[in-house]
């Protein structure tokens, strides 16, 4: 049986465990005020090309999303997101729990289009009753999206222009950022993201770490006293070094990018294999998530040899399923899977 | 320089790191639905003597406190706590952020006394305007307390009686539970706590783990769908196995208790050493936190050889400081410290 | 110029002002504990056929919606509503502000269809990840809806059956309830509503009062200590008698129903007049809100003689506008309006 | 039997009812966008000496407190208040419900002393762990206080200086403002309040209106889009004219001040009468609330002829009770009361 249901099935990249072992008995101050956090932050800001920025390390994605969003919004504001955005659908209402509405716009392949956001804002401000509605206060996107798709640099630039016109900050959820940056054909670099977004995070949990997301504010000042907000949200690790050491390792010698690339290689191999066997794909994605359309017979057969995630039912009765690769996927597992289908 | 400022300066107990390494490349389902979490939960319920109960693993203390408290309280209710309770003072308003008031009562050496709680409740219900005030909906205590003190079984039983009379659940914050259970002279066992409290947690972060707190509901049914509440609070780990493996290790062969006992031994040695040198203690505590009163000269001298936490200033100008031992404290460090004072 | 833009343009029914004057210098206890509130509540429960129920008087609609909804829901639950529901769109995020998501379903002419709710619930519970999503905790409908449409008794009964199957309470927003109950052809009585809903409110603000909404729980026990919740939400009037006297007056000698019927008569006269002049209606509604489709010429002409509300733009460029009548509409105003179009 | 238990027992000043009657059938736009609200706001700003400011009309005190406070604070901030402050104790946790802690300081006769606030802030910022605590974000005072006491201009000026030093806005709860402004011996005018506070409100409910509090921001810009915040809090009246007409009346020809002065005259007469009969007062207050200490015999006797509010029990067993006068108190009622004691 081969397992491809998600990209967080294994522990951490061995290099991370090695560093955890080496440093284990060192004594460091708590709450992220240790040398490893400092070092990780510096390396991250450097790679992002924004040495004057700010980095905060948190534990997981939902936590990061709701903490960042609620820190930025004023009480009467909501966050614009694609209907399929993680914050809209799959976080048990974490954003609403902080008192803010998620203002959904239908996305296209998981992406928010600049034009749709502009139209939304135009309609909103043209409505004589808009003060009775939730004010749009920021825009949330993910890259890669929930559907494994990627924004182009043009698309991000256009979104930025719309947001500039309406003075809305952009928050990019990069839970799988590495897999987006290392995908074939993408023209978006981490420096572009630093330039085009007001805040974003670099996912660790799904890219080699046991846990951890690194929130980057390319410029200081968007939020104040964020440390206290993190604490208030229960997102402050006492042993912050656990996050610091992991990100320091990931951002030493480009490890984050190397292991991300590995996942892409594995995904492309898997994709090619399925295509050769005549499988139909739901979308043509270039990242580590691959969506395949299965009829009932295929579904049944595949279920016997692999674990994957059911994504959605199509109107014609067929099922869209997701296969994920990750930094940990072994080429031999792909080979074995492909040999069995 | 010797470091005694807190009990979360090192990484994890080596046995935990070993298990993390051994299991690292195993593939497990996410969100705590793996075999390690299952195993850890079973072992915890067994040691607590409540096999029919429920265990949920979360990452840190503030997160656990606000998630548990807000899951239990109705919207119009608040939580009773000692003024010195962690939820009252040092969590950046995490409980209030969930919409609930912390109803403080002056404690005695960090402890809530049953009589004071009863009086508080009597006064509350006797007040003709009590419906205009926040309803007391549960009681929060910590064991050991912020001051390293311990409840006796009698004290807990009396508190239980008061809470039964008013139908209030008791939540025990056990961030340092191991150090309480293994202290000399305590008559409170983990089974007593399971019997006397409605919910409590077993601290991992301060007792050998990288992170993690195990919330125990000795009986099912106090809260429903707690999994979703955990997710909503950003407290659900994608790689839940990180928590599962740690607690499974801690509750195998009594490791949790053994390493807790070590911290107590170290604390008693440290205490004895300071007493012999004529230092005055602020309170006579039997757990891993020791509070010493220093005059300015002592403070200055001690600052040169050790790092400790400033607790409070006394009216006479002297300073109360805290020395912590932990599972990781080396006897040689104590020896060295004592040789220098 | 004739004004038809909404149903809250005038003050109160003269009978109400008369009673306010008569009772003005009487001394009563505050916070709704006066004889007028008592009397109003008794009369309301009687007319609803649920003498064992509970009535609470609040000031306005948004306040009532968010107070009732947040009192009923558990922290991990959301409220199902039509996309066009008032709570979804036009309350500045008041429900989300209390921490709860509004789970929207496309309605049909403003109404939630039982089948759509059932499908929504089936899909939700069939989703293996539903614990990561907001739990549906109650259903919100309005009667009349935002579009002036009415549920039939069958529709309500079917919705009730679905909600019973999933143990969901139904909350009916009756901000314009009188206009629904007195409409021609409706088969839904206030007693039906008491039987089929778990909680609903009888709108005063739009039906003859200066302000005020009467929340009815046909059975006691759905929420506890609602008085404190009302206070906490800032919805408790110090001089509760202002609400008591108004509802007592409205429910004496059927005044509420008489004045509601007057609004219907006026709406039907207005509708007939517009139809005769060849105007096209957006929907065939039988209550006090009438939606007319205007081309640009008609829009311009009509704007010169009347004030009405712009509802929405159609794809063909025409505009849907709303004309409202109310308890206060004078027949001569309708005559004059019709004479000018 | 004479009634003195509170200052909201009657309806409205007759002049207000008269204006409500006169204007009753006029058609005005909703949500406070009518000419009466406009006029009231202009008159209020004029009397406050801040024509460039902003006024918002809300319904009641708790609502106003929690709406203003939550609009001003950032998520990690709390509001400093006296322990006896209304927001601390008697609003069912309305402030906490919006996610913010009330940071209490012991007051003196209900007043916050500038020195105590300064000390609180000094201690807070000196604490190395203050980022783990709730940040003080504003100061709440009431004038008159819960104890009927008044700040002097010096006291307010000192408080302002402390708040300036720490950049904290001051919010003054003026639920009984008129009774404070018209008290004998006060040196604080409404213009002083406009100058020394960042936001305050002029109470209507307790000073002649059926309901209503007028929030004054002497300078624009402290909060943005407050209209939406009011709506979100359920504090926006559909028929805003009800508030507009009342405040317009109260601020025409100084009615607000005249009727406030009447309450003071009545209070002084009552006080003098009690003093002459040998009663002991708990505090020497110059406003409409008078606190008298009764032994059991006095309590029993007085209970037979008057209704008053029980305030607190003294250690010696005696009871502090409150007598209130108001704009509506009749001199003959005072005479009758005094004749019976």
Q: What is the largest CA-CA distance in chain A?
A: 63
Who among B99, B128, B310 is closest to D96 (CB)? B99
For B231, the closest of C98, C132, C231 (CB atoms) is C132
Mean pLDDT of B290-297: 96
CA dist C263 and C323 (Å) reads 12
Q: How far apart are CA B332 and CA B266, in angstroms?
A: 10
Q: Which two tokens stand for residue C177?
A: 């309830």
On the 0-12 / 13-18 / 19+ scale of CB atoms within 10 A, A319 is middle
Q: For residues A140 and A69, is the Cβ–Cβ distance under 8 A?
A: yes
**Residue D10 Cα, gap to closest chain C Cα (Å):** 5
What pLDDT does residue D143 have? Answer: 98
Q: What's CA A151's distance to the chain center, in Å?
A: 13
> In A34-93, which residue ranges form alpha helices assigned H by DSSP?
35-48, 61-72, 86-89
Mutate to test the interface with D, among C63, C67, C232, C234 (most CBs of D within 10 A): C234
Which pTM does this prediction carry? 0.97
Return d(Cα A115, Cα A112) in angstroms, integer.
Answer: 9
pLDDT in tens, chain A (341 residues): 999 999 999 999 999 999 999 999 999 999 999 999 999 999 999 999 999 999 999 999 999 999 999 999 999 999 999 998 899 988 999 999 999 999 999 999 999 999 999 999 999 999 999 999 999 999 999 999 999 999 999 999 999 999 999 999 999 999 999 999 999 999 999 999 999 999 999 999 999 999 999 999 999 999 999 999 999 999 999 999 999 999 999 999 999 999 999 999 999 999 999 999 999 999 999 999 999 999 999 999 999 999 999 998 899 999 999 999 999 999 999 999 999 98
pLDDT at A341: 85
Q: Contact D159/D130 with Cβ under 8 angstroms?
A: no
Which residue is closest to C308 within chain D, CA to CA?
A: D29
Centre a 10 Å sphere on the Cβ of residue B187 and count the other Cβ atoms it contains: 11
The span from the CA of B244 to the CA of B236, in Å, is: 12
Q: Please tell me if residue A254 touches chain D, with a CB cutoff of 8 Å.
A: no
Q: What is the pLDDT of residue C89?
A: 85
Q: Whole-angstrom Cα distance, residue A31 to residue A231?
A: 9
**Is the ipTM value over 0.85, yes or no?**
yes
What's the mean pLDDT when you consider all of chain D? 97
The C-alpha angle with vertex B188 and arms to B183 and B193, in degrees rounded to 5, equals: 125
Give the gap in angstroms from C-alpha C144 to the nearest C-alpha of chain A. Answer: 20
Angle at C127 between CA C121 and CA C131, to 5 degrees: 90
D180 touches D287 (CB < 8 A)? yes
Q: What is the mean pLDDT of residues B34-44?
A: 98
* Cβ A55 vs Cβ A120: under 8 Å: no
Taking an 8 Å cut-off on Cβ atoms, the answer to whether A228 and D76 are in contact is: yes
Q: Which residues of C touch A102 (CB under 8 A)?
A: 101
- Segment B66-91, tens digit of pLDDT: 999 999 999 999 999 999 889 998 99
- Of C75, C92, C134, nearest to A133 by CB-CB distance is C92
- Contact call for residues C243 and C37 (beta carbons, < 8 A): yes
CA distance C132 to chain B (A): 6
CB contact under 8 A, B132 and D91: yes
Interface check for B224 against chain C (CB to CB < 8 A): the answer is yes
Beta strands D289-294 and D280-281, pairing class: antiparallel
How many angstroms separate the CA atoms of C98 and C94, rounded? Answer: 7
Q: Are the beta carbons of D16 and D245 closer than 8 angstroms?
A: yes
Residues 6+ apart with CB under 8 A from D22: none
Average pLDDT over residues D265-270: 98
Report, as ranges of residue numbers, the positions in chain C whose pLDDT lies below 70.
none
Pairing of strands A213-217, A54-58: antiparallel
Of all residues in chain D, what percent carry a pLDDT higher than 70? Answer: 100
Other Cβ atoms closer than 10 A to B219 = 12
Token pair of A131 as six digits: 């003060």
Check C131 against B227: CB less than 8 A apart: yes
Confidence class for position B294, pLDDT limits 50, 70, 90: very high
Q: Report yes or no: B1 and A229 within 8 Å, Cβ to Cβ.
A: no
Q: CB of B310 within 8 Å of any CB in chain D?
A: yes
Please state, in angstroms and rounded to a whole number, the distance separating the CA atoms of residues D39 and B17. Answer: 72
Measured CA to CA, the distance from residue D232 to residue C90 in angstroms comes to 9
Q: Are A256 and A207 in contact (CB under 8 A)?
A: yes
Which residues of D are less than 8 Å from B320 in CB distance?
none
Radius of gyration of chain A (CA): 20
Which regions of chain A carry the CATH code 3.90.1150.10? 2-8+255-340
Q: Confidence class of residue B108 from pLDDT cuts 50, 70 and 90?
A: very high
- Say how far apart CA C235 and CA D91 lie, in whole Å: 11
A261 in reach of chain B (CB within 8 A): no
Range 79-138 of A in CB contact (< 8 A) with B: 91-94, 97-98
Nearest CA-CA partner of D102 in D127, D134, D144: D134
Helices (H) and strands (E) in chain B, counts: 14, 13
Cβ distance D194 to D188 under 8 Å? no
Question: Do β-strands A54-58 and A2-3 pair in parallel, antiparallel, or remain unpaired?
Answer: unpaired
Q: What does the mean pLDDT of chain B come to?
A: 97
Q: What is the DSSP letter of C91?
A: S
Question: What's the pLDDT at C341?
Answer: 85
Residue-wise DSSP of C174-242: -TTHHHHHTSTT----HHHHHHH-SEEEEE-TTTT-SS-EEEEESSTTSSS-HHHHHHHTT---TTTHH
Phi first, then psi: what are they for C242, rounded to 5°? Answer: -60, -40
**Does the distance separating the beta carbons of B10 and A25 come in below 8 Å?**
yes
Q: Contact at 8 Å (CB) between C202 and C196?
A: no
Classify domain A14-250 by CATH architecture.
3-Layer(aba) Sandwich (3.40)
Q: Where in chain B is the domain with CATH 3.40.640.10?
A: 14-250
A92 closest CB neighbour out of C76, C97, C128:
C76
**Residue among B103, B110, B119 at smallest CA distance from D104:** B103
> Are D128 and B307 spatial neighbours (Cβ–Cβ below 8 Å)?
no
Residue C168's CB: how many other CB atoms inside 10 A? 22
Evaluate if residue D47 carries a pLDDT over 90.
yes
Instruction: Inspect the interface and report whether the beta carbons of B78 and D98 lie closer than 8 Å.
Output: no
What architecture (CATH level 2) is domain C2-8+255-340? Alpha-Beta Complex (3.90)
How close, in Å, is residue D35 to chain B by CA atoms?
36
- Cβ distance of C30 and D10 shorter than 8 Å: no
Residue B341 binned pLDDT confidence (cut-offs 50, 70, 90)? confident
User: Nearest CB to D92: which of B92, B93, B134?
Assistant: B134
> Which residues from B are below 8 Å from D75, CB to CB?
97
């Amino acid at each position: 049986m081969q397992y491809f249901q998600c990209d967080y099935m294994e522990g951490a990249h061995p290099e991370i465990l090695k560093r955890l072992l080496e440093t284990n008995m060192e004594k460091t101050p708590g709450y992220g005020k240790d040398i490893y956090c400092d070092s990780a932050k510096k390396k991250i800001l450097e790679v992002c090309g924004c040495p004057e920025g700010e980095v905060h390390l948190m534990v997981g994605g939902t936590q990061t999303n709701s903490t960042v969003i609620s820190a930025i919004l004023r009480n009467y504001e909501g966050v614009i997101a694609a209907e399929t955005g993680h914050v809209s659908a799959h976080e048990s209402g974490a954003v609403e729990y902080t008192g803010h509405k998620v203002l959904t716009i239908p996305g296209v392949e998981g992406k928010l289009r600049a034009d749709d956001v502009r139209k939304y804002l135009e309609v909103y401000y043209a409505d004589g009753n808009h003060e009775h509605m939730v004010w749009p206060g920021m825009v949330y996107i993910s890259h890669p999206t929930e559907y494994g798709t990627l924004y182009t640099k043009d698309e991000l630039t256009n979104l930025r222009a719309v947001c500039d016109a309406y003075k809305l900050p952009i928050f990019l959820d990069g839970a799988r950022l590495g897999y987006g940056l290392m995908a074939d054909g993408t023209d978006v670099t981490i420096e572009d993201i630093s330039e085009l977004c007001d805040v974003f995070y670099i996912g660790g949990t799904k890219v080699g770490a046991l846990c951890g997301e690194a929130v980057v504010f390319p410029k200081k000042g968007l939020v104040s006293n964020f440390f206290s907000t993190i604490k208030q949200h229960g997102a402050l690790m006492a042993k912050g070094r656990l996050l610091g050491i992991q990100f320091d390792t990931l951002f030493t010698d480009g490890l984050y990018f190397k292991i991300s690339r590995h996942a892409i290689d594995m995904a492309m191999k898997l994709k090619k294999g399925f295509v050769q066997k005549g499988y139909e794909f739901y979308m043509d994605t270039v990242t580590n998530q691959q969506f395949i359309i299965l009829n009932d017979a295929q579904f049944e057969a595949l279920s016997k040899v692999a674990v994957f995630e059911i994504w959605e039912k199509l109107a014609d009765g067929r099922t869209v399923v997701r296969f994920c690769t990750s930094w940990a996927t072994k080429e031999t597992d792909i080979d074995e899977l492909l040999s069995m289908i």
